[in-house]
Amino acid sequence: MLALPPWFETLQPAPVERLIDAGGPVLVLLGVVAVVVFALAIERWWFYRITWRIARRRLVRRWAARRDHRSWSAHTLRDVWAQELVARLRRPLPWLKLLVALCPLLGLLGTVTGMITVFDSLTLSDTHQARAMADGVARATLPTLTGMAIAVVGLLFISRLEHVIRREDQRLHDRLAKALEDDHA
């Protein structure tokens, strides 16, 4: 059997166990959604910083290398190429919006299930202590707070990504038009 290092045994209790204890299994699900949202955000940042710029340069060179720039079909082809490239930048946006919209709902689900647990434990116990109820309510509202925090950060990222997409769409069209002007100059 694999022996665990001594420092690993000192980590008691495990972070996932503490999450489940603090806010229930819905908090773990919110953690998974948060990881996916932030992974998509990092991937989009990487795509924008590296892949997008290379693809944009290739497209401008491809457009400039064409002989026909003035016909209707050439303009249509240029627009189709630009739309395809911008669509690659926009690709994960619907998934991000879905996950961000899901976060407050999952938080509410965690709160409702937590409140049911609190009221159930209060009815089973003979002592109706206000302190136990306050602790249970605090634990029950933790998923809502977490869901709202993830949603706010996600909305900020979505807003920024939409701004970048609009700006880069305009820049791409401007560079394609400039490539045409430079070619005819």
Q: 127: helix, coil or strand?
A: coil
Token pair 């930048």 is found at: 89
Does the pLDDT at position 1 exceed 50? no
Tell me the per-residue pLDDT of 95-136, one tens digit each, with 9 for 90 and over.
999 999 999 999 999 888 888 887 777 777 666 676 667 777
Rounded mean pLDDT, 33-61: 92
Separation of alpha carbons 33 and 17, rounded Å: 18
Tell me the CA distances in angstroms from 37 to 27, 52, 103, 148, 176, one per residue in order. 15, 20, 10, 13, 33
- Residue the block writes with tokens 């038009």: 177
- The helix (H) or strand (E) run that includes residue 47 is none
Structure tokens at 42: 């990092």
Who wins on pLDDT, 68 or 94?
Answer: 94
Given pLDDT bands bounded at 50, 70 and 90, which one contains residue 83? very high
The rounded percent of the chain whose pLDDT value lies above 70 is: 83
- Locate 49 and state its tokens: 């910083």
Q: What is the pLDDT of residue 135?
A: 73
- State the DSSP code for 125: S
Taking residue 185's Cβ as centre, other Cβ atoms within 10 Å add up to: 5
Alpha carbon distance 86, 169 (integer Å): 6
- Spell out the residues 6+ positions from residue 125 whose beta carbon is closer than 8 angstroms to its own: 132
Instruction: Give 149-184 pLDDT, tens digit per residue.
Output: 999 999 999 999 999 999 999 999 888 888 766 655
Start-to-end Cα distance in the chain: 74
